[in-house]
Amino acid sequence: MADQHCCEAMDDAVHPRCERHMQPAVCPDALIEFSARFREYGLPVRDGGGASVTIDFCPWCGRRLPASQRDAWFDELERRGIEPFGDQVPAEFQDGRWLTAPPQG
């Protein structure tokens, strides 16, 4: 699934190109993180952990960003009887595919 971001600058920001750092999380030039599974944008907190501060508007074009799907992600896993911190989470829940998949009954 290809992510469609609000503008070219945001697309560049969530897909940083750095020859020195293999992972964007450790690159000081990576300004924005995007979580496809939650459809969330955030500013990374550079304290050695994986935290970020969620943002609601694009810093470049000013458009409102999509609403976070974090609560819906946890709700859907619970509905399916999956414990996200104990059970193996299905592959489609590791990225944004679960958002476009037909509901399971």
Residue 29 tokens read as: 């030039």
Cβ atoms of residues 99 and 35 within 8 Å:
no
Write down the pLDDT at residue 46: 80
- The CA-based angle 55-57-20, given to 5 degrees, is 60
The neighbour count for residue 75, using CB atoms within 10 Å, is 11
* Encoded amino acid at 102, one letter: P
Write down the pLDDT at residue 1: 39
Write down the pLDDT at residue 103: 66
What is the C-alpha separation between 47 and 44, in angstroms, rounded? 9
Residues of the chain with pLDDT under 50: 1
Stated pTM of the model: 0.82
